Structure 1
């Protein structure tokens, strides 16, 4: 049955589209203030590679520097799943993707906080980096955004310390198996000259600049002695999420030319198995329950805020209830997939302490509660794309016929019985983290 939505839910979606232009991710700019369960023990899977170090140091290992030495090639990414095809009688893994828009490290230290959460509960995530967070304000004129004046950005720029701190987190996150995607650059929204009006050519130019800021952070900050990122961003980048969730149609056209494998920019998705658009996986924010209401909202922290307070500094006496409501909504969405059609669950977030950190705490509690469960895989969008691409297309077509929360008639044992047998197991085997 299609997810129920009423006028209130529709207004909440419109609110996030209209106001995300003011959502600054980590609020980095030249005047930034800097103050804004039980771990899994039954490892029934294995990730590739050795245990990842906590910091992206190249000491003691070979790394080929790239360009000005801002990035390097250190080999295949550690901590990746080994995709395996489902076989008849298998129940699909329950994939959950936690993603972060505008990822960067500032005085709140939320990037490092959730890296630690991911390590503890065996969750890899997708961090969508805003390219201007790699560009100090004094070099702002290097950014020439489509349809806007050179050196402009709706979310400001960074300072040198902010760039260095973000580089450290990005490198460590990648070594731990997380994905570094893109949130592009200036976060321009709106019907006149926002990203929703951009052509495929303009999206390509915007992405090229985002990659360039990462690959030249040393030159742009003057910090020549810093440790390089342990990966080539131009090759690792395979997907992103558009600011304000606008402009997907032309972004996908651009992404196809750039070699993207997925896009996470669409809104109003349902908890069903994903499909491709023009050869690119469409991973939308999904409609999920709002406890105490009959409508549903998008699976993102900002949408719960829009439904609850409409402001980032709401009534402190209500914050505990708001956090409980978000936790309840995320868990309800998880349960109906986990016990139903096993469709991947997509949860979007921002590194922000809105309403006193209410939503950060709700997300952390959700990770703690669901990621250690049997059969659950908290992965990045890239890892999910790997798994989907490894499956038999006929199997995926059958999975997509399952509606929201609906189990196969007769159970999973016979659902894929008509498909050819495989010698592979259904679940990727994970390595035990040290």
Structure 2
């Protein structure tokens, strides 16, 4: 009896997965074998796509094998329209042997386009967007035979036509696939920002950051609906009112090309009541990315629980010295806060120093991908965090993320600075009156 019940549940689960796959043409397993000649082994390329989140974001997995080389990468896909999904800039390596591909962040820059072959079978064609990417090379020294293999992989990933046929409609799932859709849990940054809680459902979006004669084109979707479609924002000022639906909304900002001066450097500005933020392809971690996505929720009460109130700057405190830049300001009802500092992109030797109210918290601290936590005690009233870059590391400028945490609330700042520059964060500690 128990065995029959178990078999029934397995059968029901299997048919449920098949039904889900039938309603989503992207989910499933896609494959091709690249064999340019009969002498060298072919390259097997397999793309597994999981079930979507709101029919927009897809966790995905890549297998690449050729001769002795075998690799697996996690990535994120973002739906642009009914035919096309953008590919995340970063591909996180789960397995690479006997060597790795050093510039794995930039191979497969572009999107997959869904169509059918002459027999009517579904295919995914890779639409490449060329960028100023570095050569795809091995992470370790290789022998002469492996060098030929690296060159073959480089040619395939960087130049060859890639067309994948669907071999299974069952959505991909693994113990790590759900983490790809959660920025706080994902093993690397896949282009999905932390969820933003907003005070109102109605907002305004517009663009900035475009240089003349750059010819950048961008698209924007909200919950899968196109707001802007392949627009050249240099030619016309673009602005639109948007209205969020109740619950979770997904807004995605796409780079349609890299213009004349690679890569795309467009910036999408969003304003909801007193909440302002931006999605910016000029930021280092999103440079040469195809998309930036963010989940938006209108829940004023929840926003108070998760985020600090803003501390507006006015009067004498807003007067800055020549080498100072005000990054932002918050209000706190707790005297003790935690600062977390890390680099979301790469460990490149950056070091920083931090003061609070002219007293040193740390000096010459290396910025790693693993966060370093520092406890700070505020004085009543205004406080100033001073963030200084000690060097430029191996990849200028000095970049890091500084996050302020009080146990429930959090606020993060992306720092890009050069030696001699001071980034300031103002914190007003209200020791008696709760923040409203």
| TM bracket (short chain) | under 0.3
Please give the TM-score of this superposition, normalised by the length of structure 1: 0.26
Q: If you compute each CA radius of gyration, which structure gives the higher value, 1 or 2?
A: 2
Higher helix fraction (1 or 2): 1
Higher RCO structure (Cα 8 Å, ≥6 apart): 1
TM-score normalised by structure 2 residue count: 0.26
